[in-house]
Amino acid sequence: MIDELKTFIAVVEHKNFTKAAEAINLSQPSVSLHIKHLEEYFKASLIQRSIKQKTIYITDSGNLLYERSKQIIKLLEDTKSELLDYGNAVKGRLRIGASFTIGEYFLPGFLGQFTKAYPDLELEVAIENTHNICEKVKNFQVDIALVEGTVPSNIFETNHFYKDKMEIAVPYNHDLANKDFSIETVQNQTWISREVGSGTREYLELFLSTNNISAKNVIVFGSNYSVKEAVKNNLGITMISSLVTETALNNKEICILKTPQNYTRHFSYVLQKGIIPSKGTLVFIDKLKNYKFFS
């Protein structure tokens, strides 16, 4: 039954019997047989095929089984890891997702300490924007995610672990650096932004709309490094994490505007609701909560 469920997951995700067969190293007749066995076992139509079987459609029953199958496979894999490691050692595999700011500027230092404490735990790390990482949690592609953006509370369990300071960065020796900050001084500026789906983009949009700031133009870049480089090269100004600006500030590549109030956001770890975390996930969370942060 487990093999059949894995086959079904592959068919749903590839939306094609031939591609699914190639992905899981089975013949196409074997894939078809697995699907037939599942439909007979559950007494339900899971996949509707076109006459020439070039396109397939997943039924409502099929979509339900797909979600349940992913949960079953994950639970079995976690159980296997824990049974193989029933003693004190933590082994197995931990799949971590992280949004860009966390993945690039926080996670490497943290994992350096974490792997010393748990050297037998195999780690896989995926770094994408907040939206995409949350999709990976939803689809059981990662066990835990670290993000800086907002996530739907009805789908995920979220807990804060760090307060991040957001700063307004301008090119070095920019005219704004010599002025007393006010909302008026940053009106009609060109702003450098991350892409839609990024937690940093979400915070910038909130800052601009809350303060009724009109941007002259918005230039979008797909990474924190490129945003910083754009500011450094006089393309515009930005609001970004202090984790990103620290080195550039020390190197006199950019300036940080002194604001009358602090702008902060939370980093959170995200789990899918209703899922029992693996032992590796639990020790990761414990280490995260007790980590000595640098700011």
> Is the pLDDT at 116 greater than 70, yes or no?
yes
Q: Give 48-57 contacts, CB < 8 A, sequence gap 24+.
A: 53/17, 55/15, 56/11, 56/15, 56/16, 56/17
Residue 231: which residues within 8 A CB-CB, separation 6 or more? 169, 170, 171, 192, 237, 238, 254
Question: Given pLDDT bands bounded at 50, 70 and 90, which one contains residue 143?
Answer: very high
Q: Give residue-wise pLDDT tens across range 148-169.
A: 978 877 889 999 999 999 999 9
Residue 271, classed as helix, strand or coil, is strand
Looking at residues 239-263, what average pLDDT do you find?
Answer: 92
Most confident of 40-44, 62-66, 70-74, 101-105: 101-105
Question: Given pLDDT bands bounded at 50, 70 and 90, which one contains residue 295?
Answer: very low
Q: Give residue-wise pLDDT tens across range 184-201.
A: 999 999 999 999 989 999
Please give the residue that has the higher pLDDT: either 89 or 109: 109
> Is the pLDDT at 277 greater than 50, yes or no?
yes
Q: Which residue has the tokens 């792997």?
A: 115
Residue 221, classed as helix, strand or coil, is coil
Tell me the torsion sign for CA atoms 193, 199, 200, 203: positive
In the chain, % of residues over pLDDT 70: 95
Quick one: tokens of 216? 């002259």
Looking at residues 110-129, what average pLDDT do you find?
Answer: 93
Domains in the chain, start-ordered, CATH in brackets?
A: 2-65 (1.10.10.10), 83-162+266-289 (3.40.190.10), 164-264 (3.40.190.10)
Residue 257: which residues within 8 A CB-CB, separation 6 or more? 167, 168, 169, 170, 176, 177, 181, 186
In the chain, % of residues over pLDDT 90: 52
Residue 51, classed as helix, strand or coil, is coil
> Is the pLDDT at 15 greater than 50, yes or no?
yes
What is the pTM for the complete model shown? 0.68
Q: Which residue has the tokens 């020796």?
A: 173
Distance CA 98, CA 126 (A): 6
> Is the pLDDT at 51 greater than 70, yes or no?
no
Q: Give residue-wise pLDDT tens across range 206-216.
A: 999 999 999 99
**Over the chain, what is the mean pLDDT?**
88
> Is the pLDDT at 88 greater than 60, yes or no?
no
> Is the pLDDT at 89 greater than 80, yes or no?
no
pLDDT (0 to 100) of residue 294: 55
